[in-house]
Structure 1
Amino acid sequence: MALSAFSEDGKYYSSISKDGRLKIWDTETNVLKQEYTPDLHLTSPPSCLQWLYIASSPKSSHEGVKKPTYNEKETQCIALGTTSGKILIYSVTQAKIENVISDQISEKKYITALDWHRKYGLYSSYKAGFVLEWNLKSGSVKNKYNVVVDKKTVQGNSVNAIKIVPHDLQSEDTFLITASWQLCMWRLHDGEATIFRHLGHKATSGAILSIVSLRKASFLVEGSQKERLLSFWDITVEEPHLSQVNGDGITPRKRHRKQTYTPHQLDTPNYNFVLEDAPKFFDVQVKQEEDMCMLKMVAATRSGVVHYYGHTLNGASTKPHKPTLTLQVASSNAHPRQLMCCRLVSDHLLLGYSLESALIFEKIRPDLSSKTQVLIRDDPNAPIHKERINEVNKVRADEPQPSEVTYVAPHGLVDRKRHVPGGKVEVPMEVRLENLSLDTKSRSTMAVNQNFTKLLIQGLHSKDKK
């Protein structure tokens, strides 16, 4: 179930909010470009989305004259699957709904996942355990496939994620990965679905799938929103696995039914990658560098950090691999920023993190000199909060300091000199005398000091100048 995704070129990022609104950001300008609220977004909100392109050729001014294929234009759209079984085709160019497709088969059915490929078209999965292949031009269903793994466990057969496996072989078969209670690879042909491979891995309700191809090889990365692990599988389709072909073409349907094929069992994935927390978004790239096949992967977790992995594909390994680099974003006062999404763009990482109420996208180059890095990012529009300073004790260095200052005491105004740092403090005589003991009933033997104290007080209160 994909609630957010980047466009194919990485220029836009779309997500479905909790209240059922579609939001599209421009990753180059950090601007919320479009926001759309579907009808009945509270009763039947969107459950998943998928970026796609729809070819549309302009009408000719002369009847009977067909436009060449190179004049066809592609419209960038987003397919929104809803909980009521309808698929909304939203045009990003025109910022409106272009078409609404539905069928009696999918009416009032919960759409769990969508996937689209230029060669194979649009597919949708449902909780009931079946997949529909759509014809976008007519808005109708081409084929319906039953992808129930085990009929005895009906509740566990709910498909929550699908991915189309591309191949360049000459065959009309379409291969599809489904995640229900188990990961399976299906072969779809002429309305029939047969299990092609058991991946031997139990998936959860929040599965996330991603497929990357290199030449004729295809790889699957599977993650779950309930596990701290990413699994890497080699799902390359080879020629002996396809349907047999004779001189006239593909074998007839009746003969194709009689062919028995035992699904290939893959007990363990080729690689496992450990995360700090369960993943919510990741992107994968596989490139050929000299004589090595390099894997680059970036994943954002629920805890708000991003892990970057760099690994050489040189044989299967059962040991889990740790991230090469872990990135975090925080403010200058150590307030963490939530990392929402990530994407690999050439040799850079495109990060999307929340800043107050906005979503900021930033492209950085990964620095592999340390395993953990923290990016300090503050809101440039936020007001600067200065610490409040006591104006009484505040002294400016550029102003001359007065030699005497008037202080307010409980018994009135008292004039005394300001204390200079490093200098002596002069205490008035009255304060010194008040600190002395004047108790005449004291049994102290120092009567001379007491009498002398009384004489000093009498002299101070007398009006005799001498």
Structure 2
Amino acid sequence: MADGDSSYSQQLPCVFSPKSQQYLAVCAQDGRLRIWNTDSKTLHQEYVPSAHLSATCTCIHWGPCRTVKEGPQRKKRKSEAGHVEEKADLLAMGTVAGTVLIYSTAKGALHCTLDGGHSGGVNCVHWHPEDCLLYSGSDDSHIVEWDLQTGKTRSKWKADRAAVTSLCVSPDGKLLLSAGQTIKMWDLDSKEVYRKFTGHSSAVTTLRFATTRPPDSSGLYFLSGAVHNRLLSVWQVREDGKDKNSVVSFTLTDEPRHIDLVTSRSKDQAVRLAVVCKDGQLHLFEHFLNGPCKKPLSPSCTVQMSDTKDSPMPIPLLAAALNAESRAVTLAYGNYLQPVIEKVDIQTADRHICLTRNVQTTLSLSIASTLSKVKTPITNSKSKVLIPGLPGHQAPVTGTSVATEKRKKDSDSKEVSIAERLGEIDLQSTASTKKESKGTPSLKTDNFAVLLVQGLESHDNDILNKVFQTRKEMVINNTVSRLPLPAVLPLVEQITKRLQGHPFSAVLMVRWLRAVLMHHTSYLSSLPDVVSQLGVLYHIIESRVKMFHKLTKLHGKLYLLVSQVATNNSTNKVSDVDHTAKLVYEEESSDEDEASGDERLLDEDSDNWEEEEVMEDDGKEGIDQGDEDIDNRTDSKENGEEKMEHDNESEEE
């Protein structure tokens, strides 16, 4: 459960959860956090930080086990009330940007982000065993004490002249070990140096307390490991203060990468130690810490892994965790993309153990396998295949170039430097056209292949940028096909790096990647470590494919919203109708209008006269005269109507 330090080694952070070893946390090269379940051997959770490309993870450390509320649960019985199960929940991750991310496995999401404490990349993180405190060491040579309840720094102090590369808190929570090249022990109450130790000649990557005894009894021991050092040193904290040199050392086959131990609580109990080295071997130690030991101690048992092929190849071990109660060891081996987790009972009576396992190093992709009628060729078992790039292949691989013969003929001419040659080449123009004059130099794909190899060997970004700017499919395919085989992997690394940049450059890099897969897939598949070489590229493609499905759903929703807004705007425009008359027709004769007006008045008057006649019985002269006038008017009305009807009939005819 030691912290992997990627800034001083190429190993990825890989650590088991405390106590039950239920989870294995692995941080990939592209910044993804993957948590594997050791019981079911499956991927439990996957988390991609928002700044995983610019602020990759450098170290991870599990927090102390605690009781976690995971939603509604059944009501417990009285017999189960006193028993509360504690699980590993919080996981701290230090990043290159100087921030610390706290991830919760119960929530399956980010718990909080600790920012503003460091001005450099975080190299190590370590939890306090009891309180909600976290300690982090950085390249800025400072140690920061974080309070997780508030998410802010509680204290900060300078620990060393150089970067702080490793931290460890004592089991009682009173002392803190920090190391760059020298090791210092701090009193956490006063934040002052309690003891100083000589340390190592290189950067210390591992610090672990080996005993739980108080420091005043001369029984407190801790061990340390460093880069490029094949020894684990054990230090004793003595009462008299004469503890500058190590008292015990353990010999290893390579520098330590992952360390787990079972602490000693008394002098009668031995310390059990499991160390995974850089070469992929596991070394087991068991020793009683009781004073100095002059002779370096060799491991009691060494474990190696290999496959079951005719010519077995070693399988690297990634991490190991000891069980405090039994002799079982939990192993993680294979590759970081899909590690294999297994619990093994190892008998320490044998000094060297080799475990053979059938591990498929290919990625677990769901590909529909179809039957084919192609016969597999029968090969001789004694034949040996030599591949460029593998040990045993002595013939140098050179790219075929047509221009070499021409240069031999024109040996008297002056050589042209790379800068002048780059100045003459216009990558925007076509590769070769028929309309060019005979005197002007034409651009050929030979020059692209030569320039690309020179740019890959010298890591010159100017040359690579000018070569990668071409958009011609034919030029790209011919250039990639003429590349020598040793330049294929550096080209894939450059393509992977540029795919993570600007989207416009990624569009160009996809064409180059497609050309590489078309021409050099057979060579890439023959490499033994192709999974580790193409791991980052696989992660990028996988994340882009997952994002593509989300973008298509978003595109459909946005299209629906835009179409609805367009229809609403069109209906609003139709509802606004102009009620003003577009055409007004006026008749020429005004006599009919006057007659129609008289008719309306006469109708109203006639109604009134009829009512008066019904109400009054007496006849008067004025009334009789009014009746005569009405009769005359009605006669004229009838004459007028007849006249209008005749006029209408004449018009219709």
* Superposition TM-score, scaled by structure 2 size: 0.47
Counterpart-to-counterpart distance in 1, 2:378 and 2:33: 47
Task: Decide which of 165, 171, 176 is 2:170's aligned counterpart.
Answer: 165
Letter in 2 for 1:366: I
Deviation at 1:235, TM superposition (A): 3.6
Contact conserved, 1:165 with 1:218, CA < 8 A, in 2? Answer: no
Q: SS of the residue aligned with 2:263?
A: strand
Deviation at 1:356, TM superposition (A): 9.8
Letter in 2 for 1:137: Q
Counterpart-to-counterpart distance in 2, 1:25 and 1:203: 36
Contact conserved, 1:122 with 1:135, CA < 8 A, in 2? Answer: yes
Where does residue 268 of structure 2 map in the other structure? 292
Say if 1:325 and 1:176 are closer, same or farther in 2 by CA, change over 3 A.
same
Where does residue 25 of structure 1 map in the other structure? 36
Provide, for residues 298-329 of structure 1, a one-character-per-residue CA deviation record: whole Å limited to 9, x for no partner.
11111111111122334310210011111111
- Asked if 1:38 corresponds to 2:49, the answer is yes
Where does residue 275 of structure 1 map in the other structure? 252
Where does residue 347 of structure 2 map in the other structure? 367
Counterpart-to-counterpart distance in 2, 1:182 and 1:329: 35
Aligned residues: 336
Q: Which has the higher strand share?
A: 1
Counterpart-to-counterpart distance in 2, 1:381 and 1:340: 14
Where does residue 336 of structure 1 map in the other structure? 314
Counterpart-to-counterpart distance in 1, 2:313 and 2:83: 53
Where does residue 230 of structure 1 map in the other structure? 232
Deviation at 1:4, TM superposition (A): 2.2
Counterpart-to-counterpart distance in 2, 1:328 and 1:215: 34
Counterpart-to-counterpart distance in 2, 1:283 and 1:352: 13
Contact conserved, 2:204 with 2:224, CA < 8 A, in 1? Answer: no
Q: SS of the residue aligned with 1:337?
A: coil
Letter in 1 for 2:172: H
**Unaligned segments of structure 2, at least 5 residues:** 5-12, 70-81, 363-368, 370-374, 380-653
Letter in 2 for 1:375: L
Say if 1:109 and 1:329 are closer, same or farther in 2 by CA, change over 3 A.
same
Contact conserved, 1:295 with 1:312, CA < 8 A, in 2? Answer: yes
Provide, for residues 354-405 of structure 1, a one-character-per-residue CA deviation record: whole Å limited to 9, x for no partner.
169631122222223321111111138999xx99669xxxxxxxxxxxxxxx
Where does residue 176 of structure 2 map in the other structure? 176
Equivalent residues in 2 for 1:312-331, closer than 5 Å: 312-331=288-307
Counterpart-to-counterpart distance in 2, 1:101 and 1:198: 29
Q: SS of the residue aligned with 2:269?
A: strand
Where does residue 214 of structure 1 map in the other structure? 212
Say if 1:287 and 1:180 are closer, same or farther in 2 by CA, change over 3 A.
closer
Where does residue 58 of structure 2 map in the other structure? 47
Where does residue 204 of structure 1 map in the other structure? 202
Equivalent residues in 2 for 1:55-454, closer than 5 Å: 76-103=89-116, 105-106=117-118, 108-120=119-131, 121-148=133-160, 154=161, 157-167=162-172, 174-190=174-190, 193-202=191-200, 204-216=202-214, 217-235=219-237, 264-287=241-264, 292-333=268-309, 334-345=312-323, 346-354=326-334, 358-379=338-359
Where does residue 6 of structure 1 map in the other structure? 16
Q: Which has the higher helix share?
A: 2
Indicate the structure (1 or 2) with the bigger Cα radius of gyration: 2
Q: SS of the residue aligned with 1:213?
A: coil
Where does residue 246 of structure 1 map in the other structure? none
* Superposition TM-score, scaled by structure 1 size: 0.65
Provide, for residues 17-62 of structure 1, a one-character-per-residue CA deviation record: whole Å limited to 9, x for no partner.
122111111112221212211112111112211211597998xxxx
Counterpart-to-counterpart distance in 2, 1:194 and 1:128: 19
Compute the RMSD of aligned alpha carbons. 3.2
Letter in 2 for 1:225: V
Provide, for residues 411-464 of structure 1, a one-character-per-residue CA deviation record: whole Å limited to 9, x for no partner.
xxxxxxxxxxxxxxxxxxxxxxxxxxxxxxxxxxxxxxxxxxxxxxxxxxxxxx
Query: Which is further off, 373-382 or 90-99?
Result: 373-382
Counterpart-to-counterpart distance in 1, 2:57 and 2:112: 15
Q: SS of the residue aligned with 1:317?
A: coil
Q: SS of the residue aligned with 1:196?
A: strand
Query: Which is further off, 72-81 or 331-340?
Result: 72-81
Say if 1:312 and 1:281 are closer, same or farther in 2 by CA, change over 3 A.
same
Say if 1:287 and 1:387 are closer, same or farther in 2 by CA, change over 3 A.
farther
Q: Percent identity?
A: 25
Provide, for residues 162-206 of structure 1, a one-character-per-residue CA deviation record: whole Å limited to 9, x for no partner.
1112338xxxxx32111112011122335xx32211122225335
